[in-house]
């Protein structure tokens, strides 16, 4: 199973800003609609594999953590809040190891 | 007009050869360009040249050095693939599919899978191919019928893949198959019992790219055959792999335009009609000026997509679609004009433009056809622009 790795070149984002950054990315991709942090973006029908890939790349680049295969679960990406939770867990996983 | 390329300096003794645009061009000029038409007619890139590609470290130089690669950045990789495309699209196609497998392995593989395969994939001792298309499904990847199901603690694979570049020669197949509701990626060795390979000859373009149909009949695989997640995210393995393939094809298409330009500049300088050199005729000059403009524009789009890949910026995905659409359509247009400029000679095997023309057509079909590219790019336009 793949593990989380850290890119030390990426400056740490303060925990309070994690959800804002993700929300900003999602909103910028869909400027024509209002998306709340707890809203299911899959249920809105926006997700295709291209956007899913963009989301993962954005998270990895912005927060300097690779997302291991076993965290690539739909529930981790349904809402901005779920994604922020995932990032929080990945940060802990690296600091624990 | 030829892109000025400085001669590569000789590497210090014992050092690995440099991999950059100049060294790729020197290699292609020495070993590939002079015989590309021979490969085309014979319908195969010979094994010997594939081994030379390995000796130069060109199969997967973007892999990390710790796994046998050279840590090459994506912009330089694009330049290398452009130079290969300028020489021979069949060779470039073999590099493309190998690149796709190597990238998917590195991006999605477990530590064990990487350790097992990466060193041999890096050197080209193990050659890769990408198996998505089927007799009944191409653009519509969701329509594939090849299926995989859990079996004796591993997997059982059944189905048929068609138009597989490098398939006749590859040692390891990256196979996309349906598993319940998702499409998953599997690493399947050619030697696995139940794998059947039937070469496909006499294609219109990229005739030497060792295309094959691959049958999988009750192929039993271990649990370690699954590459990447099997959940909703498995589609990302396919998207990411196709993105790299698209990038390589875009760069290869730039190489085709460059080759057309050079062939036309040479031919029109020597051919006269009614006492005038072709190069002095306004309508001919117009064709060449369009080639110059488009090759530069296409190269810039590719470089931009490569820079975004190096920065791991998600915007690279759309930048690559745009680069591939622009470069492949420009290659098809200019290779047609290149045949036109050569007159009847352009239809013969005496000049390379006939091959360039046939190869360019392929670029408009593979890694997302023109129509699929336009659909995706238009979707992006509507997504970007607030209504
Ligand atoms: C030389 C060559 C090498 C190849 N190598 C590989 C390989 O290594 N691995 C692999 O998996 N595949 C490979 N392919 C297959 C290639 O990926 C497919 O040919 C391609 O995806 C198109 O699929 P198709 O041929 O089934 O055409 P179809 O999907 O049947 O499409 C037929 C036509 O309809 C158009 N079309 C499809 N959908 C739409 C739509 N929604 N709206 C408008 N128009 C549409 C297409 O653009 C096309 O013009 C190769 C093909 C060639 C020619």
Please check whether residue B100 is in contact with residue B256, taking contact to mean a CB–CB distance below 8 angstroms: no
Check CB contact under 8 Å for A49 and B313: no
Q: With H, G, I as helix, E, B as strand and everything else as coil, classify residue B221.
A: strand
Beta strands per DSSP E along chain B:
128-131, 147-151, 154-164, 172-179, 182-189, 195-199, 212-221, 226-227, 272-273, 276-277
Residue A89 lies in a domain: yes
Per-residue pLDDT at A3: 55
CA B214 – CA B197 distance, rounded (Å): 5
Q: B7 falls in which pLDDT band (50, 70, 90)?
A: low
Judged against a pLDDT cut of 70, whether residue A94 lies above it is answered with: no
Taking residues B249-275, what's their average pLDDT?
98
Residue A4 lies in a domain: no
Check CB contact under 8 Å for B243 and A74: no
Residue that has been written with the tokens 């653009």 in this structure: B139
For residue range B317-371, list pLDDT tens digits in order.
999 999 999 999 999 999 999 999 999 999 999 999 999 999 999 999 999 999 9
Is the ipTM beyond the 0.90 threshold?
A: no
Q: B4 falls in which pLDDT band (50, 70, 90)?
A: low
Judged against a pLDDT cut of 50, whether residue A1 lies above it is answered with: no
CA B328 – CA B305 distance, rounded (Å): 15
Residue A1 lies in a domain: no
CATH of domain B129-225: 2.40.110.10
| B99 to A20, B201, B224, B331: CA distances (angstroms) | 36, 23, 21, 22
Q: Which residue has the higher pLDDT, B181 or A28?
A: A28
Length of chain B: 387
Distance (angstroms) between ligand 1 centre and the Cα of B36 equals 25
Q: Of all protein residues, whose CA lies closest to atom 7 belonging to ligand 1?
A: B164
Which fold is adopted by the domain B233-386?
Answer: Butyryl-CoA Dehydrogenase, subunit A; domain 3 (1.20.140)
Residue A10 lies in a domain: no
Residue A32's CATH number? 1.10.1200.10
Per-residue pLDDT at A70: 84
For residue range A34-45, list pLDDT tens digits in order.
889 999 988 887
For residue range B43-77, list pLDDT tens digits in order.
999 999 999 999 999 999 999 999 999 999 999 99
CATH of the domain spanning B21-126, picked from 3.90.550.10, 1.10.540.10, 3.30.70.1070, 1.10.3720.10: 1.10.540.10
Judged against a pLDDT cut of 60, whether residue B251 lies above it is answered with: yes
Please check whether residue B212 is in contact with residue B199, taking contact to mean a CB–CB distance below 8 angstroms: yes
Residues of chain B with CATH 2.40.110.10: 129-225
Judged against a pLDDT cut of 50, whether residue B144 lies above it is answered with: yes
Per-residue pLDDT at B385: 72
Residue A6 lies in a domain: no
B104, B141, B232: best mutation site toward chain A, by most A Cβ within 10 Å? Answer: B232
Judged against a pLDDT cut of 90, whether residue B229 lies above it is answered with: no
Q: B156 falls in which pLDDT band (50, 70, 90)?
A: very high
Check CB contact under 8 Å for B240 and A53: yes
Residue A5 lies in a domain: no
Taking residues B4-24, what's their average pLDDT?
72
Taking residues B291-295, what's their average pLDDT?
98
Judged against a pLDDT cut of 70, whether residue B125 lies above it is answered with: yes
Residue A42 lies in a domain: yes
Per-residue pLDDT at A72: 85
Per-residue pLDDT at B1: 43
With beta carbons under 8 A apart, name residues in chain B contacting A60. 312
Q: B8 falls in which pLDDT band (50, 70, 90)?
A: low
- Full domain range(s) for residue A91: 15-96
- Among the options B367, B371, B380, B384, which is catalytic? B367
Judged against a pLDDT cut of 90, whether residue B282 lies above it is answered with: yes
pLDDT averaged over every residue in chain B: 94
Residues of chain B with CATH 1.10.540.10: 21-126
Please check whether residue B130 is in contact with residue B97, taking contact to mean a CB–CB distance below 8 angstroms: yes
Please check whether residue B194 is in contact with residue B219, taking contact to mean a CB–CB distance below 8 angstroms: yes
Per-residue pLDDT at B134: 98
Judged against a pLDDT cut of 90, whether residue B379 lies above it is answered with: no
Residue A76 lies in a domain: yes
Residue B203 CB contacts under 8 Å (≥ 6 apart), including other chains? B209, B211, B362
Q: With H, G, I as helix, E, B as strand and everything else as coil, classify residue B311.
A: coil
Check CB contact under 8 Å for A50 and B238: no
Distance from CA of A53 to the nearest CA of B (A): 5
Nearest CA in chain A to B114: A2
Residues of chain B with CATH 1.20.140.10: 233-386
The total number of structural domains that make up chain A: 1
């Amino acid at each position: 199973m793949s593990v989380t790795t850290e890119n030390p070149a990426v400056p740490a984002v303060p925990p309070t800003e994690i959800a804002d950054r993700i929300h900003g990315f999602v909103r910028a991709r869909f400027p024509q609609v209002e998306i709340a942090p707890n809203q299911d973006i899959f249920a809105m029908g926006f997700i295709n594999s291209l956007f899913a890939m963009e989301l993962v790349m954005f998270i990895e680049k912005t927060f300097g953590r690779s997302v291991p295969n076993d965290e690539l679960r739909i529930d981790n990406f349904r809402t901005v809040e779920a994604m922020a939770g995932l990032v929080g867990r990945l940060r802990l996983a690296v600091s624990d190891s | 007009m030829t892109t000025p390329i400085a001669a590569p300096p000789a590497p210090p003794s014992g050092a690995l050869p440099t991999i950059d645009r100049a060294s790729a061009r020197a290699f292609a000029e020495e070993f590939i360009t002079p015989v590309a038409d021979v490969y085309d007619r014979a319908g195969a890139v010979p094994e010997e040249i594939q081994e030379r590609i390995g000796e130069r470290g060109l199969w997967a130089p973007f892999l990390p050095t710790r796994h046998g690669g050279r840590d090459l950045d994506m912009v330089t990789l694009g330049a290398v693939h452009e130079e290969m495309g300028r020489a021979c699209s069949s060779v470039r196609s073999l590099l493309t599919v190998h690149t796709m497998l190597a990238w998917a392995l590195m991006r999605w593989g477990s530590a064990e899978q990487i350790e097992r395969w990466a060193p041999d994939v890096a050197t080209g001792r193990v050659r890769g191919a990408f198996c998505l298309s089927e007799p009944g499904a191409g653009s519509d990847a969701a329509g594939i019928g090849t299926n995989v199901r859990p079996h004796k603690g591993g997997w059982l694979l059944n189905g048929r893949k068609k138009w597989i570049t490098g398939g006749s020669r590859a040692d390891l197949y990256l196979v996309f198959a349906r598993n319940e509701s998702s499409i998953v990626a599997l690493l399947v060795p050619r030697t696995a019992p139940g794998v059947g390979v039937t070469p496909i000859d006499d294609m219109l373009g990229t005739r030497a790219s060792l295309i094959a149909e691959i049958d999988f009949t009750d192929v039993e695989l271990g649990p370690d055959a699954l590459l990447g997640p099997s959940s909703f995210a498995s589609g990302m393995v396919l998207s990411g792999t196709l993105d790299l393939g698209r990038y390589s094809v875009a760069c290869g298409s730039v190489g085709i335009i460059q080759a057309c330009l050079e062939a036309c500049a040479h031919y029109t300088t020597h051919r006269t009609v009614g006492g005038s050199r072709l190069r002095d005729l306004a309508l001919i000059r117009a064709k060449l000026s369009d080639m110059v403009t488009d090759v530069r524009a296409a190269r810039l789009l590719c470089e931009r997509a490569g820079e975004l890949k190096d920065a791991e910026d998600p915007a690279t995905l759309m930048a690559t679609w745009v680069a591939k659409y622009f470069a492949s359509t420009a290659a098809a247009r200019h290779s047609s004009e290149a045949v036109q400029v050569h007159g009847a000679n352009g239809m013969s095997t005496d000049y390379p433009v006939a091959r360039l023309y046939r190869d360019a057509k392929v670029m408009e079909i593979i890694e997302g056809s023109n129509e699929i590219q336009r659909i995706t790019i238009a979707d992006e336009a509507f997504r970007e622009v607030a209504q």
